[in-house]
Amino acid sequence: MTDQLNTECDGDGALEEGVPNEVVLTPTVQLLKGFADDTRLRILCLLRDREVCVHEIVDALDMSQSAVSHQLRVLRDARLVSHRRDGRHVYYRLADDHVREMLENALSHGAENE
């Protein structure tokens, strides 16, 4: 006797209402991609409690300035960080408290044992 897969569901179409439209999905995906790299995550951790100069990030991560600048551009494009210029120095910080909360939640969840 062969079990048959039920190909019909009792859905009433309401399920799709829970999926945001592209205007929301596209920037949300970009935001989450900002978290999806270990170097960017390290940079976000460096910025979680204070504003940091690019040179300090370069030194802390032992990376080239161009590599750090590339990752910072991705984080800016994802709206996860903001920056300000002071003469020849550029300082970065987390964009807002929402980013800080997302970072803390992601780190906390990552540290949980299954």
pLDDT, position 4: 63
Q: For residues 69 and 75, what is the distance between their CA atoms, to the nearest angstrom?
A: 10
Residues of the chain with pLDDT under 70: 1-13, 114
User: Residue 14's pLDDT is what?
Assistant: 78
Pairwise CA distance, residues 71 & 65, whole Å: 10
Contact (Cβ atoms closer than 8 angstroms) between residue 101 and residue 31? no
Dihedral angle, C-alpha 21, 27, 29, 35, nearest 10 ° = -150
Burial of 1 (0-12, 13-18, 19+ CB in 10 A): exposed
**Spatial CA neighbour of 26 closest among 66, 63, 78:** 78
